[in-house]
Structure 1
């Protein structure tokens, strides 16, 4: 199995770049939001439409992921991924040549559709090419590479946007490079080709309710905990007297560069743990970071808190994505991946609303972080206590997987 997976190293390297394009959606446009407000200040409803340029792709990613996952299983992961990469490059760069706010919003919505195809197609191919420990290794490397490439692209945004803010959208065209690589290097596994032409009846591709509840119980608290810091960090700094956006950028950069890769590498160290133990460890790390942010009295402590919290987030993503592909019955990894990203991304949207409601109760952003950290720690304890239930859910999914074919060996060391 290892020898077979090792032959797919070129494919693994190409797939390393796939998650980058999901991150590019908000990363490339965030630094120019101020310029966009200035450019479209006279447009009706600009105060609503301009922020939508930032958030619309993620919402479309959430809503379209189940459909993209279904298509990936139906016609093949490579076809969905390659088409989506090309589509992403075209619609992502299109705002360079569009002068209207509504036109830009239209292309940003299409960008989210492309993102759904990219992330689900990539996960389906990862599930097809790799098994067991090899699969988790490549998922971990994706999460190591993601923040490092993101930091380099943030620097590129600063350089490119100095001449004209519209030039920033040209960076979305980088997906066309990976499109070419994917077209020549990736292939449709023979088993998946057979499954895409002789697909299972619709009744057999539905996710069991218990499995949906399991994935939701992981995705919702995981997403809320992961995105709490980006949402509230600037407010906590302002309460401490730090009003410069550079301060927020510095702290988040440290978290991305050091925290997320550390969490992904930690996943390799605990690869033989049960899934539930790995998830609880990730949640406790995020809870510790949130609590530290809530009581921090110096920027140094805040930096340590952000790094710890992001490390927990990196660990959570590797363990959770490995679990999703592990419990997916053969030929249904796209369906399961699509459902995961639907729930995870919608929880991301709910994060600001929940934290704002907590602000009303606690009176400050720092107190909100402290309270939320305690809640996350309590949820971690519940996940540990509920482990037997989760184990039964996973076992049920594996039984479903075995009805049509051999169960994937992924995550065997965890169980």
Structure 2
């Protein structure tokens, strides 16, 4: 559901920009339709994590799924940009609960590290494959006008119903651990989470650069802004590449995390560099595929690096903090990209600059991996 919130409307962003062109600061506010839910996740996911630790997982998840349908479809009937942004705040609250609970449940359900890492990788595969469908669907429905794609948010009800019958609260070992620690105040493992959270903030930014900007990059090559089929097709291909990267993680999850992070950021750097250096639509397509493959490998690598070893009683709040960092990066993406675009004189060079920053992070993780091997 959170990936639906961020990708469904990317093919119609140029239409929204045209529809609300007369609104003051529309060039910032329209991309915020995608980014505002991420801000709310960043602000409230830690609180959702504390609720998860104290009150349980399933009931919060089911309630959020049903509320998500109402909030997500609200723009179908709205023609005011500020009202649409308000509805997206509620979408973000639901997403904070959904994403935090789902990731926490995966860690709860699967205790063996290799199996847990496999399912964390599959989480990214499923969400990116869903994103591929939603991007293509958003582009196809956008032909009928920008209101139409928002109907897709009703799908959360379809998913929520089997959740009621198939999900369960964690039992056995997890509950025994929680009970045993009940008399002790649980502290957030800041020493363990500090560096992963900082890197995740940057990773969330690089992850969403192309998700948010790909439609504008495609239009910048000469494609009409109402050609949502072409825009959606390019975004869908990039999303498939993200799924491919996540599938690769399932095969290499036993490798050291610094190595996986170095490869993930490195592929992002190569792809964004191609967008800057290769002219026209081919450069956008090639660059988006390569960078998105890196993003697919990067996301589960960040999750497992940060969360796979936290204790049961810390999982909800730790997962909430991780979600806060990742989606905080997403929220900052349009703001940072807007500033970079103005500073360097165009979107393509701004994307190239972000690729350069990703390359620096890749090199740092590569050196960390080398130092670790030498020490061993």
Q: TM-score range by the shorter chain?
A: 0.7 to 0.9
Distance 2:90 2:290 in 1: 35
Distance 2:182 2:345 in 1: 53
Q: Does 1:63 align with 2:63?
A: no
Q: Which residue of 1 aligns with 2:252?
A: 270
Distance 1:357 1:42 in 2: 21
Q: Which residue of 2 aligns with 1:281?
A: 263
Alpha carbons 1:74, 1:195 under 8 Å: kept: no
Pair 1:185–1:352, CA change in 2 (3 A): same
Q: How many residues align?
A: 369
> How far apart are residue 49 of structure 1 and its match?
5.7
Q: Which runs of 5+ in 1 are unaligned?
A: 1-20, 392-414
Q: Which residue of 2 aligns with 1:336?
A: 318
Distance 1:220 1:312 in 2: 16
Q: Which residue of 1 aligns with 2:193?
A: 212
Alpha carbons 1:75, 1:196 under 8 Å: kept: no
Question: How big is each residue's C-alpha offset from its partner over 1:175-213, in whole Å with a ceiling of 9 and x where there is no partner?
Answer: 1111111110000012455667776468423232x3332
Q: Which runs of 5+ in 2 are unaligned?
A: none
TM-score in terms of structure 2 length: 0.84
Local SS of the residue matching 1:188: coil
Distance 1:260 1:321 in 2: 15
Alpha carbons 1:205, 1:335 under 8 Å: kept: no
> How far apart are residue 101 of structure 1 and its match?
5.2
Alpha carbons 1:66, 1:339 under 8 Å: kept: yes
RMSD of equivalent CA atoms: 3.4
Q: Which has the larger radius of gyration?
A: 1
Q: Which residue of 1 aligns with 2:163?
A: 182
Which one has more relative contact order, counting CA pairs under 8 Å at least 6 apart? Answer: 2
Q: Does 1:229 align with 2:210?
A: yes
Question: How big is each residue's C-alpha offset from its partner over 1:197-247, in whole Å with a ceiling of 9 and x where there is no partner?
Answer: 776468423232x333212232133223222334554565566x5343455
Q: Which residue of 2 aligns with 1:260?
A: 242
Distance 1:148 1:58 in 2: 20
Q: Does 1:90 align with 2:73?
A: no
Q: Does 1:124 align with 2:107?
A: no
Alpha carbons 2:265, 2:362 under 8 Å: kept: yes
> How far apart are residue 109 of structure 1 and its match?
1.2
Alpha carbons 1:74, 1:199 under 8 Å: kept: no
Question: How big is each residue's C-alpha offset from its partner over 1:131-161, in whole Å with a ceiling of 9 and x where there is no partner?
Answer: 3121222222222232332232334445555
Pair 1:323–1:367, CA change in 2 (3 A): same
Distance 2:349 2:27 in 1: 29
> How far apart are residue 56 of structure 1 and its match?
2.1
